[in-house]
């Protein structure tokens, strides 16, 4: 491309050439974050598919769960009494069914809060391709790129928790309807949504291919959610099998939600039947909330590390090669036999 003389070039062209020559970023990290965030939100407002997958589909999903469990508010918890039952039998069975239904509701909700964030994979992949071109040209740094993702996804998790959590929380039977229990549920919902979106970002940063990242994401998330304590308490599993249970974010979310729902009931009350449905909790609900809050930060940090490594030039990786590997690579480039080999040199044509 021919260049015009210095005075004839535009200010933007001269600035871009100076930027590429100096290999520095044109703006500070906060300015880069602001530009990337503004661009992403403008693109989302103009893209109909964005609102369709981020708002409409999840809203239908959580409305479905609300309708599915609203029957527990009917007389007798929706259970029909059998002939020969005494009032004590009827109350006992009703309470057990209500607890079982509420546990199912909490597990389905926390699972949906994580799985719905799979849509972030497509958005991340689209922006990742543009970012790598701009990063190679010196436009944006990897730190700014991931910080704006963290701010956006955490803000998105907050409004999703308030909207979707308010829709679904009040549908089933409430054992202890207090403001503290409701806001704790919203906090867990927000952290789960943030964890799911951060894990999607981590997968697409680690595997920069939407098909491969989606497959790995679903495989790992399904295992971690299965080891949350809903299907089988940890106390009934061998120690080796308990490894996914210990590292599962679903474990901290589900254990905290159960204690938030049933843990404050006085011993000896009819709600203390929760003990028979217990997942053998070992942490308080606030400790579980704190542990769950660490996952988004860990996933975002790992995503930044993988993006940083993927955007390193070839000279960065050659520093980790041994002298023998470097000598072999140089010989191969010169069409020479490898060092220590007795083969005759390859003649250049």
Placement of tokens 């996952």 in the chain: 295
Q: For residue 230, with 0-12 CB atoms within 10 Å meaning exposed, 13-18 middle and 19 or more buried, which class applies?
A: buried
Residue-averaged pLDDT of the chain: 79
**Dihedral sign, Cα of residue 306, residue 311, residue 314, residue 315:** negative
pTM to 2 decimals? 0.78
What DSSP letter does each residue of 21-69 carry, written as one string? HHT--SS-HHHHHHHHHHHHHHHHHH-HHHHIIIIIHHHHHHHHHHHHH
Query: Contact at 8 Å (CB) between 166 and 87?
Result: no
| Closest CA relative to residue 287, chosen from 266, 248, 259 | 259
Summarised one tens digit per residue, pLDDT across range 299-330 is: 999 999 999 888 887 666 666 666 777 677 67
Gap between the Cα atoms of 289 and 189, Å rounded: 10
pLDDT of amino acid 23? 47
Gap between the Cα atoms of 320 and 117, Å rounded: 36
Q: Can you list the residues of the chain whose pLDDT is less than 50? A: 1-5, 16-23, 274-277, 348-349
Query: Contact at 8 Å (CB) between 238 and 170?
Result: no
């Amino acid at each position: 491309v021919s260049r015009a003389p210095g005075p004839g070039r535009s200010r933007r062209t001269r600035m871009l050439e100076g930027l590429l020559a100096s290999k520095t970023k044109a703006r500070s990290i906060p300015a880069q974050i602001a530009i990337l965030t503004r661009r992403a939100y403008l693109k989302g407002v103009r893209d109909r598919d964005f609102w369709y997958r981020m708002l409409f589909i999840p809203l239908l999903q959580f409305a479905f769960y609300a309708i599915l469990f609203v029957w527990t508010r009917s007389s007798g918890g929706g259970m029909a009494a059998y002939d020969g039952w005494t009032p004590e039998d009827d109350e006992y069975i009703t309470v057990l069914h209500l607890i079982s239904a509420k546990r199912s509701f909490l597990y389905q909700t926390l699972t949906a809060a994580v799985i719905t964030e799979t849509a972030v994979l497509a958005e991340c992949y689209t922006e990742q391709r543009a970012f790598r071109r701009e990063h190679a040209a010196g436009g944006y740094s990897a730190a700014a790129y991931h910080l704006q993702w963290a701010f956006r996804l955490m803000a998105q998790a907050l409004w999703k928790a308030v909207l979707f959590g308010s829709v679904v929380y009040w549908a089933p039977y409430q054992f202890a309807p207090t403001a503290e229990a409701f806001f704790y549920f919203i906090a867990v919902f927000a952290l789960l949504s943030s964890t799911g979106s951060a894990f999607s970002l981590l997968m697409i940063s680690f595997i920069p291919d939407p098909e491969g990242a989606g497959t790995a994401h679903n495989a790992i998330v399904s295992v971690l959610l299965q080891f949350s304590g809903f299907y089988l308490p940890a106390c009934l599993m061998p120690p080796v099998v308990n490894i996914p249970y210990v590292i599962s974010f679903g474990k901290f979310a589900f254990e905290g939600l159960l204690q938030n729902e049933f843990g404050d009931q006085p011993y000896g009350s009819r709600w203390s039947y929760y003990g028979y449905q217990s997942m053998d909790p070992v942490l308080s609900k606030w400790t579980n909330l704190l542990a769950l809050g660490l996952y988004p930060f860990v996933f975002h940090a790992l995503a930044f590390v993988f993006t940083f490594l993927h955007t390193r030039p070839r000279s960065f990786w050659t520093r980790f090669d041994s002298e023998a590997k470097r000598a072999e690579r140089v010989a191969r480039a010169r069409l020479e036999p490898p060092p220590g080999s007795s083969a005759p040199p390859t003649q250049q044509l």
